[in-house]
Structure 1
Amino acid sequence: MKKVLVLTSAVIALIALTGCEPKRGSDAWCEKMDGIPKGQWTFDDTRDYTKYCVFNQKPEEE
C-alpha cells in the first residue's frame, strides 16, 4: 500500500511540474531558455529561440 501511495505522489508531482511549462515563443520561454546551457538545446529549441527571441516574431495563436 505504501508503494502505491509513493508512486501516485510521484506521478502527481511530475504532472504538476510539467504542466507549468511556458508557451514556446513567449517571453517567459525565452528567459527560461537563457538559463539552459546551449549544448542541451534541441534543434527545435535553437530554431524557435532564434525565431522568437532573436528576431522577435510572435508565435501563432492556436
Structure 2
Amino acid sequence: MKKFLVLMTAVFVLSACAPEVGSEDWCKEMKDKPKGDWTANEATEYAKSCFMK
C-alpha cells in the first residue's frame, strides 16, 4: 500500500509540470512537437491560442 501511495504521489506531482494549455510555453512545446503526433483537440487549441492570437 505504501508503494502505491508513493507512486500515485509521484504521478500527481509530475503531471502538474505540464504547461497550461493555451499558454505561451504550451505553444512553444507544441511548435516543437511533430504535427503528426498532435491530437485533434491539441490542433484546435493551437489554432485558437497560438496561431490566431
Please give the TM-score of this superposition, normalised by the length of structure 1: 0.69
By percentage of residues, which structure has more helix?
2
Residue 17 in structure 1 maps to residue 11 in structure 2: no
Unmatched runs of 5 consecutive residues or more in structure 1: 57-62
Please give the TM-score of this superposition, normalised by the length of structure 2: 0.77
Larger Rg: 1
Aligned residue in 2 for 1:60: none
Aligned residue in 2 for 1:39: 36
Unmatched runs of 5 consecutive residues or more in structure 2: none
Corresponding residue pairs, total: 53
Cα distance change of structure 1 residues 5 and 35 upon mapping to structure 2, 3 Å threshold = farther
Kindly state the Cα deviation for residue 36 of structure 1 after the two structures are TM-superposed.
2.2
Kindly state the Cα deviation for residue 11 of structure 1 after the two structures are TM-superposed.
0.6
Q: 1:35 and 1:5 mapped to 2: Cα distance?
A: 38
* Aligned Cα root-mean-square deviation (Å): 1.4
Percent identity reads 32
Residue 5 in structure 1 maps to residue 6 in structure 2: no
